[in-house]
Amino acid sequence: MDHAARRRRMVESQLRPNQINDPQVLAAMSRIPREAFVPPALKDLAYIDEDLDLGQGRFLMEPLVLARLLQAAEIGPEDVILNIGAGVGYDAAVMAQICSTVVALEADSALAATATRALTDVGLDNVVVVEQALDQGYSRGGPYDVIVFGGAVAVIPETIQEQLAEHGRLTAVVVERGRVGKVVVVTRIRASFARRHVFDAFTPVLPGFEPTARFTF
């Protein structure tokens, strides 16, 4: 299987035609071998334009949604990034090609172990995998220039927003009950947070960040 050819097609057929034009994002996604991060049974599907089911309610985001999140984050070479819900580590690997350091936060021990192995195998030493619950973020490593969620959320927790540095950017797919998912960018300006919608998108919700039930009487 020529994974390198499939990776080139992913960039040229999925990303470029869909308004992904950040050269750093395109270059990073051209370099990182996505197949190195997925289970053997999924390697032939590594570059399809769909979310990959990793089991236990976890998914690897489709390439276009990830690219939209990273492009919207406007990542710089000195940035420190918090990746919430790092999963198998692919998203963190892509970000690590662009920034200074990635803190890859993952609650599932098996996924954290997979991420650690895969990141080592591809030779990345600027990603730190932290195994911990996701819903409070990881304030010990902050403040962060960029925070990226590795799955959709119903609401962006204030506790996690507060971990942004001044002028920091948070990107997430926000999926409210009964509504279309949106790629949202939150920017910190002193003690305030500006929010804008940049794309419609969908990816499965991270466990623990689901919409709350609404009750009617």
Q: Closest Cα to residue 60, out of 81, 41, 75, 42?
A: 42
What would the mean pLDDT of 199-206 be, rounded to a whole number? 93
In a domain, 214, yes or no: no
Residue 22 sits in a domain of what CATH number? 3.40.50.150
Domain presence at residue 209: no
**Which H or E element spans position 90?**
helix 90-96
- Domain total for the chain? 1
**Average pLDDT estimate for 160-172:** 97
> Which range (69-78, 147-156, 184-193, 203-212) has the least confidence?
203-212
Whether 60 is in a domain gets the answer yes
Give the chain's mean pLDDT.
94
Q: Which domain holds residue 104?
A: 3-200
Do the bridges between strand 80-84 and strand 144-149 make them parallel or antiparallel, or are there none, so unpaired?
parallel
Between 143-147, 157-161, 208-212, the lowest mean confidence (pLDDT) is in 208-212
- Examine residue 36 and state whether it is found in any structural domain, yes or no: yes
Is the residue at 98 inside a domain? yes
Within-domain flag for 217: no
- Domain membership of residue 40 (yes or no) is yes
Mean pLDDT, residues 10-29: 97
